[in-house]
Structure 1
Amino acid sequence: MRQVFENDSPILAMQPLLLPLIEMAEQRGVSSHKLLKGSRLFNEDLHQPNKRVSFKQVAQIFDNAQTLLSQDGVSFLVARHWLFSQPEAAFQALLNSRNLLDMSRVLQVRQAQIWPLMFFQSYRSANARHFVVNPAIAQVSAPCMEFMAEFLTAVIDQLCRWRFDMVSHLTVKLPYSQPKHVEQYQSHLQLQYHFSQPCFMVSVPTTYMYRPQTLALTSMRGFYLQQSKHAQAHVGFLQYVCSLLALNPKQSATELSECLGVSIATLKRKLKAHNTSLQVLKDQLQKQQAVIHISERGCSNEQVAQQLDYADVTNFRRNFKRWTGMTPSELRKLFG
């Protein structure tokens, strides 16, 4: 089994994100004590160069930040600071990729080193490439998900402004309703964004996947990839379980527990500790595939049902309504 880290594994070096977040919060009158409340961390802990934290602690801080500071757009500001202060070899390989397609390939092999908190699954349609993004370690609260989505969206926006002249051609679909602080989106983002979507997804027209980076040095891409090859890289618990489900969507709890090398009871405890269940993860995978088939590929209900191995189209429609809160026809109208 791959090296997997869990919700409470103290393995993350998050100082490049958390220290700027704390400083920006204090500049806005929010003390570090309030921002770190519930995380069992103190400001001085994060000034220790070798300090490692768990995702559970990080998620609590993101939750606090979104509750206390969303009106100030701190998630967008921290993203900009983080993007321009990344020294890791894996990130330098990303910056020296030839184009967005090459970047996506670097992310596939070095994602755990670049951004271990979320992972993406890539899908194609006739005219675009779509990247569905999910938490990599554990399911999170709505405020935490909002913070992470804002942060990652801002990183993508800034990166494409910096390395390409095409940010307005990107579209991000966000899995929550329009927030009260929507003016922060208007102020910080140039890409297109839509709220109340079935899943968190970044879409790029296929032609723009090949637009070259003028600042890239492809020889350095290979150098940095090789340099980062032996760096410690663990994969998040949810990401690993989802990768197993992607290979065999119908596998039982018994089969999955055997893959993980644990008992069924332990598997259930682990899933609960990561705020999910096997059925929720299976539903998530099927929902996202169905959304891609319907909204991006223009498939009929019969075609999607066949792709997802449903014998009964009515049963598929019923499940789709349960997953998304809308019927397939309503989704088509939304994207029409």
Structure 2
Amino acid sequence: MSNPTPVVFPAVFVASLLVAARERGIELEGFLRAAGIDPQMSLDQEHHVTADQYAALLRKLIAGLDDEGFALFSRKLRRGSFALMVRSALASGTLVGALYEFTHTLRLLQDDLNPILLDDGRHVRVELHFTTPEVQARHFAHELLVRLIWRVMAWLEGGRLRGVRIDFAFPPPGYAGEYPKVFPCELNFSAPVSAIWFDSQTLQAPVRRDISLLRDYLDKALLDLLVPTIPTRTSDKVRVYLRVEHARRSAWPDLEQTSAALHCSASSLQRHLAQEGASFQNIRDNLRRNWAIYRLQTTQLPIPVLAEELGFADSASFQRAFKRWTGQTPGQVRKGV
């Protein structure tokens, strides 16, 4: 049964998708019409397209241009390139091995990009290092590649894999509030390099898919690349909201702010969370704990400043909470004890 309330996106996402093709002088009106999108519609934040229309446009462009890279790159990613990358990943025994094979094959197929795989023992990340300034300047190239890597890895894992964080090497666009529909995890803009982060231990797990499932996956892959599973559990909705607000405002909303954003009372939100075996405080504290560990390990930010960043009244309150969360002091985590 189809969802009676279709998932929609601002039409500015379409404009971002088409920018490289327009630069190359490719006639796009026919592609838009074929996807059910009015070519005269303003492709801005005020107008919207459905996920099905967007996916149809992706399919039409790939077929018409013979390019799974949507004219973004100097050399076409001809039809079949994506399948080749997934096949190479399927040959690996572990998820981290699959990630290496996938990015290695991408590097072989594309001259404009040098994806680098790094593992610090806690997180595995793929950094997107572009070799062509024109391609690096196209934000959609960053978005597409990050999404591609994440959704393929999630499929190989069995469908539940979450990214720890996504970095984008450009400032937040005016429609950044819509990003969680496509990138439902911690987002960091204006980073030195675009990257996607995974939990290192999670990626030691075996690949849970095999070649027999590939054809069915490829049939659905475009929509999967675009639209994540829509959060239905209250706890997931709370996590998404807190991550989005932290990415947008560097703040951690409280229970009242969160319940208002989810259009319910604080008591109702607490009741729904309890039915799922969760609590608002635990969800919020787990997110703050993860962020604190990341900041301690990757920056020299003074503890009082970090405490304020996490919403604590003072350094002592933060240090007590951190010891409760992790069994260690912030100083021990920073030193790698």
Q: TM-score, normalised by structure 2?
A: 0.41
Between the two structures, name the one with larger relative contact order (CA 8 Å, sep ≥ 6).
1
Q: TM-score, normalised by structure 1?
A: 0.41
